[in-house]
């Protein structure tokens, strides 16, 4: 039997601003995962509720692990590729294991 001990993940900050004209590199989201493990991420545009990658596929808000997001040394990252698709403010929900644990990150977009 495996026993999993965890506490809710904590983010150093949950709101970021991205300048469309100055995107260079992945967005690091400093975090303490506290025993949870990153499962998946969904991203939606705040004003429409549509997927942030609607230009790529419009049928799901979920992003691809490693291609669009990843975890490294306990911190969460959104890939530069995803940031370049952002046209307006968006919300990313990081879903973690155990199932039902999640944390939300808001990304504001400026020209």
State the chain's mean pLDDT as an integer.
Answer: 95
| pLDDT for res 57 | 86
Looking at 47-51, 75-79, 96-100, which range is the least confident one? 96-100
| pLDDT for res 33 | 96
Which residues are CB-contacts of 28 (< 8 A; sequence separation ≥ 6)? 75, 76, 77
Q: Does the pLDDT value for residue 4 go beyond 80?
A: no
């Amino acid at each position: 039997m495996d026993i999993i001990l965890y506490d809710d993940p904590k983010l150093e900050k949950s709101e970021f601003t991205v300048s469309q004209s100055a995107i260079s590199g992945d967005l690091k989201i400093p975090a303490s995962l506290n025993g949870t493990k990153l499962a998946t991420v969904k991203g939606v545009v705040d004003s429409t509720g549509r997927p942030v990658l609607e230009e790529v596929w419009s049928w799901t808000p979920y992003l691809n692990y490693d291609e669009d997001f990843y975890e490294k040394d306990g911190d969460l990252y959104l890939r530069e590729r995803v940031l370049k698709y952002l046209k307006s403010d968006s919300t990313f929900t990081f879903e973690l294991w155990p199932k039902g644990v999640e944390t939300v990150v808001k990304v504001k977009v400026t020209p």
